[in-house]
C-alpha cells in the first residue's frame, strides 16, 4: 500500500507501530537528498488520516488531499514555504511558532495532525529550541516528522526526542528494477537513471519525466571529456567558469564535481574489468577507450584529488585556486595499463 521504492525496513517498522497503536510523537528521517524522506512522511500522514481499512489506500478523500498538499491537518514547513523571505537560509522561529499554535488545536478535517519539517537542520537555534518545547510535551493526535540530510547539524536535544529512521540509498540493481517495474521506463534507461541517481529514486523519477535533467548531465560529461583533451589554458578557462558559477550556485558546482568523481570512478571500474557496474553506463565505449590511457595509480590518485577539492570548497578556500589545482592534478595520458 505504501508504494515506496526501497526503504522496506522503515516502512515495515512504521506499519507495525501503526497497527499496534504505538507510533512515536516525533520521527526524524535521515538520508540523502531524493532518497524518499518526503515520500515516506507523506505516506505516514496518509496512513494516519486514511478512511479505508487498509491504510494508506491512496484513494480516499483524505489520502488524495494529502497527496495534493491541500489537507488542513497536514502541513509542511521548510525554506520553500518561507515565501515572504525568499532569501532566507534558515527556518525561522515564526514558522515554528506558527505550527506550534496549529498543533495545539484539534484536527480540523481529519483524524490526526502531521507537521513535516523539511530540512530540519536549517532551523535556527531559536526555532529548534522552540520546537523542542513542543516535542517535550507531546499532544495526542499530533505527529512531527523532521527530515534531514545530516542529523549532526541538529540540536542533540531535538534528536533525542525523535525516533530516528535512517533511509539509505538503494542498491543500483534494486532501484533499476523498481523503476522498470511499472513498464513506463525501459530497463536500459532505468539502469542509467538508477546509476546517475546514486540509489536515490526521487532524482531518477524526476529525470524520467524531464528530459532536461539528462540533457544537462550529457552536456556536463561532454565537457569533462573535452577538458581531458584540452591544453592547460583550456583547463584553466574551465576552472574559471566553474569558480564564477560557484558564487551563484554552490550546489551546482558540487554536483559537477560529483560528475567528475563518477566519471573517474567509472574509468577505474572499467580498468578493473567491472564495466557492468559503472554509473555512466551509456558511455561504456568512451570509458573503455579513455581508461586505456591511464594506469591504476593515476586513476586512484585523481579520484582522491576530486574529493579533496570538494572538501576544500566546503571550507571556503579560494575557489578558483582550488579548481586550478584540480586541473593541474589531471593525470598525464600515456600512463598505460
Binding site for Zn ion (CB under 5 A): 50, 52, 57, 60, 63
Minimum CB distance to Zn ion smaller for 52 or for 186: 52
Distance from C-alpha of 280 to C-alpha of 284, rounded to nearest angstrom = 7
- Other CB atoms within a 10 A radius of the CB of residue 159 amount to 17
In DSSP notation, 51-79 reads -SSSS--S-SHHHHHHHHT--TTEEEESS
Shortest Å distance, C-beta 111 to Zn ion: 11
Location of C-alpha cell 590511457: 293
Minimum CB distance to Zn ion smaller for 50 or for 257: 50
* Pairing status of strand 142-148 against strand 113-118: parallel
Shortest Å distance, C-beta 49 to Zn ion: 7
Minimum CB distance to Zn ion smaller for 31 or for 56: 56
Shortest Å distance, C-beta 59 to Zn ion: 6
Q: DSSP character for 28?
A: E
CB 269 within 8 A of CB 263: no
Distance from C-alpha of 55 to C-alpha of 41, rounded to nearest angstrom = 14
Shortest Å distance, C-beta 4 to Zn ion: 15
Minimum CB distance to Zn ion smaller for 63 or for 194: 63
List the beta strands (DSSP E) in the chain. 26-30, 74-77, 113-118, 142-148, 163-166
* Pairing status of strand 74-77 against strand 26-30: unpaired
Shortest Å distance, C-beta 57 to Zn ion: 4
Minimum CB distance to Zn ion smaller for 141 or for 284: 141
Minimum CB distance to Zn ion smaller for 116 or for 322: 116
Q: Which three cell numbers stand for residue 56?
A: 494508506
Shortest Å distance, C-beta 58 to Zn ion: 6
Amino acid at each position: 500500500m505504501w508504494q515506496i521504492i526501497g526503504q522496506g525496513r522503515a516502512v515495515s517498522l512504521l506499519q507495525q507501530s501503526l497497527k499496534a497503536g504505538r507510533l512515536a510523537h516525533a520521527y526524524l528521517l535521515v538520508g540523502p537528498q531524493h532518497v524518499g524522506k518526503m515520500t515516506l512522511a507523506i505516506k505516514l500522514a496518509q496512513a494516519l488520516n486514511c478512511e479505508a481499512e487498509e491504510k494508506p489506500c491512496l484513494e480516499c478523500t483524505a489520502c488524495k488531499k494529502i497527496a495534493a498538499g491541500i489537507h488542513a491537518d497536514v502541513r509542511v514547513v521548510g525554506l520553500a514555504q518561507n515565501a515572504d523571505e525568499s532569501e532566507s537560509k534558515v527556518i525561522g522561529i515564526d514558522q515554528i511558532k506558527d505550527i506550534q499554535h496549529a498543533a495545539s488545536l484539534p484536527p480540523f478535517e481529519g483524524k490526526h495532525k502531521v507537521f513535516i519539517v523539511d530540512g530540519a537542520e536549517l532551523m535556527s537555534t531559536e526555532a529548534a529550541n522552540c520546537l523542542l518545547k513542543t516535542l517535550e510535551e507531546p499532544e495526542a493526535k499530533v505527529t512531527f516528522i523532521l527530515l534531514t540530510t545530516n542529523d549532526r547539524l541538529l540540536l542533540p536535544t531535538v534528536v533525542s526526542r525523535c525516533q530516528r529512521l535512517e533511509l539509505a540509498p538503494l542498491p543500483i540493481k534494486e532501484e533499476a528494477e523498481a523503476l522498470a517495474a511499472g513498464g513506463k521506463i525501459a530497463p536500459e534507461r532505468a539502469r542509467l537513471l538508477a546509476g546517475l541517481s546514486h540509489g536515490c529514486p526521487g532524482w531518477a523519477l524526476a529525470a524520467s519525466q524531464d528530459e532536461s535533467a539528462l540533457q544537462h548531465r550529457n552536456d556536463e560529461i561532454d565537457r569533462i571529456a573535452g577538458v581531458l583533451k584540452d591544453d592547460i589554458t583550456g583547463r584553466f578557462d574551465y576552472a574559471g567558469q566553474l569558480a564564477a558559477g560557484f558564487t551563484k550556485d554552490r550546489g551546482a558546482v558540487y554536483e559537477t564535481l560529483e560528475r567528475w568523481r563518477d566519471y573517474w570512478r567509472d574509468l577505474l571500474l572499467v580498468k578493473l574489468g567491472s564495466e557492468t557496474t559503472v554509473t555512466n553506463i551509456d558511455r561504456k565505449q568512451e570509458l573503455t577507450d579513455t581508461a586505456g590511457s591511464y594506469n591504476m595509480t593515476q586513476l586512484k590518485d585523481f579520484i582522491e584529488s576530486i574529493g579533496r577539492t570538494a572538501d576544500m570548497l566546503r571550507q571556503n578556500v579560494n575557489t578558483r585556486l582550488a579548481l586550478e589545482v584540480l586541473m593541474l592534478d589531471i593525470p598525464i595520458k600515456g600512463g598505460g595499463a
